[in-house]
């Protein structure tokens, strides 16, 4: 029983269940995506917290080289003497890779093991031994984290074959442990060996990767921290476990912002669906609303009734969205662990729940606000005149406002998102999001002018293909351009972001490929498997270079030693850059990266004297030029260095990068192991043979290494870039699905509106098939028109944004995303057909007699 006027809203909703469901689904997906991303972000954060606190449960402070290098071994005695220190536990880090029984390396992250070389009686971590009571004390003994061991079928007492930096080894599992909170490291394995064994297998003769401390008095940790920091110098970070956790979280902030933004796009499009859905419901219910007004309902009552409906749709949509979000977050977690971020068990904080619910309801209400106001303005006379739709031509003023909002986002959005000076900063994030959102709203306002030209152009083709059905479909889309555009614009926005995304990734890849082609004068790159230059310490032991140099047909073998860290002058939470050390005498033979500010020979001579070649983006951000001085801080020492040249390319894919000599790297950063080896053949004729020789050597003795041709290096970079962008595209795909629902909604209404027309057509002898094809044509006009506009806009945005990325990636130029464009166009056709299925069936099934009588 209807109890009050307000409960009418619920009744209305229940009678239009399918429509309500379609409208709500946009919110379900949008909220789902937002919630999934929030859950993902907090899961990652929680994983790091747990990882650090469970491993370092009893540790009060830890010291780690900022640049990933070694803390000099000589400091240890000095540290032990610091007052207030109860315990000092040093650690040597090394990476192993498990081998197949045939001796070849197992690929993929799951085969990697982070191995800590520790003093067995003085472990830096909270090991809880589950089986085996003895910590690996000597020789080829190893303790393995039990969850990982179980996953890979490793048992106590078994021997595992691994590739180490110095070659193959077999280690016997003598202990299985877990950390105090039982957390595992995700894909990677974690293991402990004795310090002596670690030194032997890693080839690191001295120095420590990390030193942990326990304080005598836990209330005076801060003082101790300052004291230790003074002893270790500015090249080393001394922090509490929480401090490291916070730092990691800050570094992930950039990724989070991008994820938030894309999920925001999905919700924005969901809000659009609400707007369109309610607009149409209101137009369709004009007679009814007019009647309510004649019965004495006030404007306010009508507005409230529409908003109530919206709240109910928003409430149901949001609730379902939360459920969907949990499922989506599982998928996202899989994707994000594929880009190398460790993630543990799902975390669902109350704040995420609150934000997702609040956003869902607010977006629904905002979407319904305009239609509600429009409903309130419906005159009582509509009760008599009926549901005549107010057909307005597109407003020029609206389009002008739209253009004004669109242009700044196009021109400056790129520099906010990617520029060196704003990237990662609050200003950059807020500015980037504000400009981009304004840009979308601008696109929406100007939509009729953007989309209708495409629809008109397509109309010509459609009418040629099917004169009758095409004509009717064309008229339907044109009779109300505002509505056609409103339907298509959701798709346009979703797809334009996809095109921007892939335009940027395509341009980046093209640029990197082009620059690698121009810069790489080497024939082979020897590198650890699955490893990007400079990232997390899997190294190549020194003997490898010597052994390759002895192979017949070798021209030059020269090492590259690299570390990823904040460059001098950058704050500790900014995006890290790459420090790359080369042998200035040999480097010119294997690398032709363009250098500006001086000649290559001069620059390399400068590097030999302790100078630095800086990347253009880094130099621009810190206002450096040839002749400027910077200070390098490392765990070994600090020293002034002169900028001797500027790198004109971004072959490493990092905005911040610099080149120094091997000597500087060792003295300042304590890094003495090779990250890569660049190898050339003595003559092109010997290249193939040399390649075979190297492969044979690596397969025999160093299965964790590979010899990649330049083409392979390029394809590795490509797949790394694609993995990252695919994550974004997965989120955007949800936005595209939402906009598709909008198209279905519009078409469904179109059928209802044209019931009489369809009846007349059927009475005049149109076949069901012809009616169907009219609906199909209309759907295609909307989806393909919207998609083409999206491609055009996306390309324009990507083109301009890339101009602002020059400091991020010097020499970047726009490359049109051909593959994406073709995919999107084909997808739009498929989507158009899919969207038409239900409405077309409904139209075709209309009984002509009843349809003609329909009012």
Question: Which residue in the set 100, 218, 299, 700 belongs to the binding site for another protein (CB under 8 A)?
Answer: 299
Determine the angle formed by the axes of helices 426-445 and 396-418, rounding to 10 degrees: 150
User: Smaller CB distance to another protein: residue 289 or 741?
Assistant: 289
Binding of another protein by 4 (CB under 8 A): yes
Q: For residues 366 and 381, which CB has a smaller minimum distance to another protein in the complex?
A: 381
Report if residue 847 touches another protein, rule: CB under 8 A: no
CB of 312 to another protein, least distance (A): 14
> To the nearest whole angstrom, how small is the minimum distance from the Cβ of residue 841 to another protein?
21
Q: Collect all residues with Cβ–Cβ distance below 8 Å to 239 and sequence separation of at least 6.
A: 61, 62, 64, 225, 247
Minimal distance, residue 315 CB to another protein, in Å: 19
DSSP letter for 285, please. Answer: T
**1, 77, 350, 764: which one binds another protein (CB under 8 A):** 1
**Minimal distance in Å, beta carbon 753 to another protein?**
17
Count of C-beta atoms within a 10 Å radius of residue 596: 15
Stretch that binds another protein, among 240-248, 375-383, 713-721, 764-772 (CB under 8 A): 375-383
Interacting stretch for another protein, rule CB under 8 A, among 120-128, 290-298, 449-457, 575-583? 290-298
Q: Give least dist CB 18 to another protein, A.
A: 14
Residues in Cβ contact with 450 at an 8 Å cutoff, skipping those fewer than 6 apart: 443, 485, 489, 492, 789, 793
Q: What element of type H or E holds 742?
A: helix 710-753
Q: Is residue 296 at the binding interface for another protein, with CB under 8 A as the rule? A: yes
Rounded CA-CA distance 283/277 in Å is: 10
Which of 12, 164, 501, 661 lies at the binding interface for another protein (CB under 8 A)?
12
CA nearest 621: which of 668, 574, 659, 573? 574
The reply to whether 5 sits near another protein by the rule CB under 8 A is: yes
Query: Using the rule CB under 8 A, is 3 a contact of another protein?
Result: yes
3-state secondary structure of 594: coil
Residue 317 in tokens? 């949509």
297 binds another protein (CB under 8 A): yes
The span of 183-191, 241-249, 293-301, 701-709 binding another protein (CB under 8 A) equals: 293-301
CA–CA distances in Å: residue 258 to residues 252, 418, 531, 732:
10, 11, 24, 11
Q: Between residues 5 and 725, which has the closer beta carbon with respect to another protein? A: 5
| Binding residues with another protein: total (CB under 8 A) | 29
Is residue 17 a contact residue for another protein (CB under 8 A)?
Answer: no
Task: Taking each helix axis as running N to C, give the angle between helix 467-479 and helix 447-465, from 0 to 180 degrees, rounded to the nearest 10.
Answer: 170
Q: Which two tokens stand for residue 735?
A: 């936005």
Q: Which of 73, 195, 231, 291 binds another protein (CB under 8 A)?
A: 291
Q: In angstroms, what is the minimal distance from the CB of 372 to another protein?
A: 17
Cβ proximity of 5 and 720 under 8 Å: no
Nearer to another protein, 128 or 373 (CB): 373
Q: Shortest distance, CB of residue 5 to another protein, whole angstroms?
A: 5
Is-contact 164 204, C-beta < 8 A?
no
Q: What is the closest distance, in whole angstroms, from the C-beta atom of residue 855 to another protein in the complex?
A: 6
Q: Give 342 or 380: the residue with its C-beta nearer to another protein.
A: 380
Q: Are 54 and 182 in contact (CB under 8 A)?
A: yes
Q: Is 15 in the site for another protein (CB under 8 A)?
A: yes
Q: Extract the tokens encoding 423.
A: 């990237």
Rounded to whole angstroms, the Cα distance separating 231 from 227 reads 7
- Chosen residue from 86, 130, 134, 295 binding another protein by CB under 8 A: 295
CB 527 within 8 A of CB 533: yes
Q: How far is the CB of 257 from another protein (least distance, A)?
A: 45
Closer to another protein at the Cβ: 153 or 393?
A: 393
- In this chain, which of 144, 292, 368, 529 binds another protein, going by CB under 8 A? 292
For residue 97, CA distances in Å to 135, 455, 478, 797 come to: 21, 57, 63, 44
Residue 792, Cβ density class (10 Å: 0-12 exposed, 13-18 middle, ≥19 buried): middle
Rounded Cα gap, residues 793 and 446, in angstroms: 12
Question: How far apart, in whole angstroms, are the C-alpha atoms of residue 741 and residue 30?
Answer: 12
Cα 585 to the center of its chain, rounded Å: 39
Q: Collapsing DSSP states into helix, strand and coil, what is residue 131?
A: strand
Where in 379-398 is the site for another protein (CB under 8 A)?
Answer: 379-381, 383-384, 386
Verify binding: residue 287, another protein, rule CB under 8 A.
yes
Closest distance of CB 377 from another protein, Å: 11
Beta strand ranges found along 666-785 (DSSP E): 676-681, 705-708
Distance of closest approach, residue 277 Cβ to another protein, in angstroms: 17
- 3-state class (DSSP) for residue 106: coil
Q: Residues 119, 126, 246, 288: which binds another protein (CB under 8 A)?
A: 288
Asked whether position 855 contacts another protein by CB under 8 A, the answer is: yes
Interface stretch with another protein, choices 377-385, 595-603, 605-613, 775-783 (CB under 8 A): 377-385
Which residues here bind another protein, judged by CB under 8 A?
Answer: 1-5, 8, 11-12, 14-15, 287-288, 291-299, 301, 379-381, 383-384, 386, 855
């Amino acid at each position: 029983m209807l109890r009050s006027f307000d409960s009418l809203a619920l009744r209305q909703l229940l009678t239009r269940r399918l429509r309500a469901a379609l409208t709500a689904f946009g919110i379900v997906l949008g909220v789902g995506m937002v919630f999934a991303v929030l859950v993902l972000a907090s899961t990652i954060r929680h994983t790091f917290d747990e990882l650090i606190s469970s491993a370092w449960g009893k540790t009060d402070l830890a010291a780690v080289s900022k640049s990933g290098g070694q803390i000099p071994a000589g400091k240890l005695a000095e540290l032990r003497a610091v007052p207030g220190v109860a315990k000092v536990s040093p650690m040597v880090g090394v990476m192993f890779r498990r081998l197949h029984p045939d001796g070849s390396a197992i690929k993929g992250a799951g085969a990697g093991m982070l191995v800590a070389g520790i003093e067995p009686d003085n472990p830096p971590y909270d090991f809880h031994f589950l089986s085996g009571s003895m910590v690996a004390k000597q020789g080829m003994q190893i303790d393995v984290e039990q969850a990982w061991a179980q996953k890979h079928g490793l048992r106590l007492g078994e021997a595992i074959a691994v590739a180490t930096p110095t070659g193959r080894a077999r280690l016997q599992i003598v202990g299985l442990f877990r950390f105090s909170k039982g957390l595992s490291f995700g894909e990677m394995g974690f293991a402990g060996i004795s310090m002596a064994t670690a030194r032997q297998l890693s080839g690191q003769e001295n120095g420590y990767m990390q030193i942990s401390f326990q304080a005598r008095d836990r209330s005076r940790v801060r003082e101790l921290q300052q004291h230790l920091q003074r002893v270790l110098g500015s090249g080393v970070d001394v922090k509490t476990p929480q401090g490291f956790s916070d730092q990691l979280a800050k570094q992930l902030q950039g990724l989070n912002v991008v994820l938030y933004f894309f999920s925001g796009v999905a919700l924005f499009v969901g809000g659009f669906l609400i707007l369109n859905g309610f607009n149409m419901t209101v137009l369709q219910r004009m007679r009814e609303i007019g009647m309510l007004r004649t019965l004495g309902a006030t404007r306010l009552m009508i507005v409230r009734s529409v908003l109530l409906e919206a709240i109910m749709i928003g409430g149901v949509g949001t609730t379902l969205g939360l459920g969907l979000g949990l499922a989506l977050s599982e998928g996202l977690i899989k994707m994000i662990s594929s880009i190398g971020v460790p993630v543990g068990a799902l975390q669902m904080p109350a704040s995420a729940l609150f934000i997702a619910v609040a956003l869902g309801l607010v977006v629904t209400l905002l979407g319904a606000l305009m239609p509600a106001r429009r409903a309130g303005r419906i005159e009582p006379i509509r009760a008599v005149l009926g549901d005549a739709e107010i057909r307005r031509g597109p407003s020029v003023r609206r389009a002008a406002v739209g253009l004004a909002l669109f242009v700044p986002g196009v021109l400056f959005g790129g520099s906010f998102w990617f520029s060196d000076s704003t990237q990662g900063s609050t200003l950059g994030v807020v500015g980037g999001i504000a400009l981009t959102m304004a840009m979308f709203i601008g696109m929406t306002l100007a939509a009729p002018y953007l989309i209708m030209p495409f629809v008109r152009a397509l109309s010509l083709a459609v009418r040629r293909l099917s004169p009758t059905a095409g004509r009717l479909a064309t008229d339907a889309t044109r009779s109300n351009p505002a509505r056609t555009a409103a339907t298509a614009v959701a798709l346009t926005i979703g797809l334009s972001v996809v095109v921007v995304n892939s335009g940027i990734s395509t341009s980046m890849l093209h640029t990197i490929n082009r620059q690698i082609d121009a810069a790489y004068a080497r024939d082979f790159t020897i590198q650890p498997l699955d490893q990007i230059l400079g990232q997390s310490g899997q190294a190549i032991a020194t003997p490898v270079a010597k052994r390759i140099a002895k192979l017949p047909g070798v021209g030059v073998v020269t090492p590259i030693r690299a570390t990823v860290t904040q460059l001098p002058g950058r704050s500790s939470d900014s995006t890290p850059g790459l420090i790359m050390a080369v042998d200035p005498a040999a480097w010119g033979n294997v690398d032709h990266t363009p250098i500006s500010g001086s000649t290559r020979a001069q620059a390399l001579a400068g590097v030999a004297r302790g100078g630095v070649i800086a990347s253009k983006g880094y130099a621009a951000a810190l206002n450096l030029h040839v002749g400027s001085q910077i200070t390098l801080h490392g765990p070994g020492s600090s020293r002034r260095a002169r900028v001797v040249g500027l790198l004109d390319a971004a072959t490493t894919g990092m905005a911040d990068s610099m080149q120094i000599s091997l000597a500087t790297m060792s003295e300042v950063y304590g890094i003495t192991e090779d990250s890569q080896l660049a190898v050339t053949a003595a003559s092109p004729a010997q290249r193939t043979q040399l390649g075979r020789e190297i492969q044979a050597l690596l397969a025999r003795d160093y299965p964790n290494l590979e010899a990649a041709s330049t083409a392979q290096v390029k394809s590795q970079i490509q797949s790394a870039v694609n993995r990252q962008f695919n994550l974004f595209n997965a989120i955007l795909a949800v936005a595209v699905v939402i906009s598709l629902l909008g198209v279905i909604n519009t078409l469904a209404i179109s059928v209802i509106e044209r019931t009489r027309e369809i009846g007349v057509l059927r009475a005049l002898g149109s076949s069901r098939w012809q009616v169907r094809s009219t609906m199909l044509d209309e759907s295609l006009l909307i989806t393909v028109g919207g998609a083409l506009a999206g491609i055009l806009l996306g390309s324009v945005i990507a083109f301009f944004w890339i101009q602002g990325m020059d400091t991020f990636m010097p020499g970047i130029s726009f490359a049109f995303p051909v593959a994406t464009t073709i995919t999107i166009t084909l997808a739009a056709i498929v989507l158009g057909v899919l969207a038409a299925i239900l409405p077309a069936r409904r139209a075709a099934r209309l009984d002509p007699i009843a349809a003609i009588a329909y009012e």
